[in-house]
Structures are given as C-alpha cells and as structure tokens.
Amino acid sequence: MNANLTVLDHPLARQALAELRDKETGPEVFRLVTRQVTTLLAIEATRDLCTRTCRIETPLEPAEAEVLDERLVVVPILRAGLGMLDSVVQLFPSVTVGYLGLERDEETAQASVYYSKLPIVRGRTVLLVDPMLATGGSACHALADITAHDPARVLLLCIVAAPEGVRAVNEQFPAAAIFTAALDRELNDRKYILPGLGDFGDRLYGTL
C-alpha cells in the first residue's frame, strides 16, 4: 500500500499491541498501554517539527540550543481518542486542545457528529488522535471539520488501522499523514477491524 502512512516499527509498540489485542486485558492495563503506545506514535509523528536556534548558558559556558518553533493543536475524537490525549499533553505541555464527538451507528457504521469545539487551528499543526481507523468515516468527518479552518497540516495518530480506512483518508485528504501502530488485515461485515482488538471505547472505559 503506497499511502501517506507510517507504521510504527518498535518492539515496545509490538508488545503494546499484544496487550491491547488480548481479550483478557482489563481497562486498567488497557488505559496504561494506550498511553504508552500513544507516546511512541506522537514522537514518531512529530520528528520533523520546526525548531529555532537560541542562545543559552550552560553552567560552564554560553551555547547554542534548539527549541520547538511550532504551535500545536491536539484533537481527540470522542470518546476513545480521549485515552490518547494525556500522552500528547505530557510531551507538548503548551498544546491547545479541541474536541470532536463522533459516533458510529451500530447498524450502518456511519459516523455522525454530536460535538465540536476547536481552538484556533489556522496555520497550526494539528494532531488528530483516534485509536481506530476502520472505514475511515469518523476520521474523514473530523478531517473535513479541521481542514475547513486552514491548518498548516494534520497528522492523524491511530493505534490500529484497516486498509479500507487508510484508503478513504488518502483519497479524500491526501495531505493528511497517518501514523499507526498496526495496519491490520481487513474489516468484518460489521465494519470491525480484524484481527483488531474489539471496540476500543468499550475496552478503555469498561462499558462492554
């Protein structure tokens, strides 16, 4: 698949996926591992952020140093994306946060918006976080909402992606770069990812 897609290649990510996929993993560990793998994803996705040079004083002498020179926005897609938010805020404490509430209809798997609150997005780098990219319907809704506000770029961070979802995002939003910990095989007839990990929101919040 030649897509605007990066699949994490790290043993810690593979171990995290093993724990998330295991049906015996309960919400406590599921939340912890979600935060761990999101940290890896966020580091990978932001490796080309702009920096600027500044002068600092070490205890021994003046030196040149580099600091981040980009304004970031993070937007979790409710509700499962909330499990990824803390890790991004930990890495980038000055990030501004927007929220998009999207829910798939259980029968049709069509996503619809029930909440939207975005900070200033124009000219900024947006990290859109949602653990599951299945049909791509939710991500495409969110990308339409965000790109209408003219961001510098959007980086989509997910934990498990299906080829169908990657294709949908690439076709509709070719500039959006997707970062995932796993690219799975396919969707089943209920539009769940296989092998996947089940319903992420239910597993995160214990609402099975």
- Is residue 85 a contact residue for ligand PRP (CB under 6 A)? no
**Which residue number, 72 or 142, has a Cβ lying nearer to ligand URA?**
142
- Is residue 196 a contact residue for ligand URA (CB under 6 A)? yes
Token pair listed for 7: 């699949």
**3-class DSSP state for residue 202?**
helix
- Count of residues interacting with ligand PRP (CB under 6 A): 24
Which is nearest to 154 in space by CA: 93, 97, 75? 75
**3-class DSSP state for residue 153?**
strand
Token pair listed for 173: 């939003």
Binding to ligand PRP by CB under 6 A, coded x per residue (else -) over 19-48, reads ------------------------------
Binding to ligand PRP by CB under 6 A, coded x per residue (else -) over 126-155, reads ----xxxxxxxxxx----------------
**Which residue number, 1 or 67, has a Cβ lying nearer to ligand PRP?**
1
Q: Give the one residue of 134, 139, 176, 181 binding ligand URA; rule: CB under 6 A.
A: 134
Work out the number of other CB atoms within 10 angstroms of the CB of residue 206: 11
Active site residue 199: yes
Kindly indicate which of the ranges 33-41, 62-70, 145-153, 195-203 contains the residues binding ligand URA, using the contact rule CB under 6 A: 195-203
**3-class DSSP state for residue 145?**
helix
- Is residue 77 a contact residue for ligand PRP (CB under 6 A)? yes
Return the HEC string of 31-83. HHHHHHHHHHHHHHHCCCCCEEEEEEECCCCEEEEEEECCCEEEEEEECCCHH
Say which entry of ligand URA, ligand PRP, none residue 180 contacts (CB below 5 to 8 A, set by partner kind).
Answer: none
Say which entry of ligand URA, ligand PRP, none residue 137 contacts (CB below 5 to 8 A, set by partner kind).
Answer: ligand PRP
Active site residue 9: no
Kindly list the distances between the CA atom of residue 71 and the CA atoms of 50, 87, 146, 154, 208, in Å, as whole numbers in the listed order: 10, 17, 15, 12, 38
- Is residue 163 a contact residue for ligand PRP (CB under 6 A)? no
**Which residue number, 168 or 193, has a Cβ lying nearer to ligand URA?**
193
- Is residue 79 a contact residue for ligand PRP (CB under 6 A)? yes
- Alpha-carbon 75 to chain mean position: 9
> Which sequence positions are flagged as catalytic?
104, 108, 199, 202
